[in-house]
Structure 1
Amino acid sequence: MGILGFVPVLIYFGLCLIVGIRGKDARIGYWGTVLLSVFLTPLLVFFALIMLERPQPER
């Protein structure tokens, strides 16, 4: 398999961590978002975070 076999896995987990950073203020928090994106897909969880984002209060 070699080192190139691990590159897609590293990219996948890197995307999961990036989505976790985006979801740190969500109700489930950073680690909940990371785990959810590992079990689902980072792209799906990212779009779910955007759609379920709380509106910012106007100042």
Structure 2
Amino acid sequence: MKIFADRAVCEGHGMCEALAPDVFRVGDDGIVVPLADPVSASGRALIELAVDSCPVQALRLG
């Protein structure tokens, strides 16, 4: 599974980073960067929670 981050939509709220700091990082520019890709099956539930928690829906899984 791959993580897609829409950098044009991201507002840097950091919900994803707060839930999964090993997978997401909000950079100095205030935009999210996925750190771990592809996502393993064992980490899927946490990643799905982080994606679903994005207030602007800037993240998706593929």
Q: Same fold (TM over 0.5)?
A: no
TM-score computed with the length of structure 1 as normaliser: 0.32
* CA radius of gyration, larger in: 1
| Greater fraction of residues in strand | 2
Structure of higher RCO (CA pairs closer than 8 Å, 6+ residues apart): 2
TM-score computed with the length of structure 2 as normaliser: 0.32
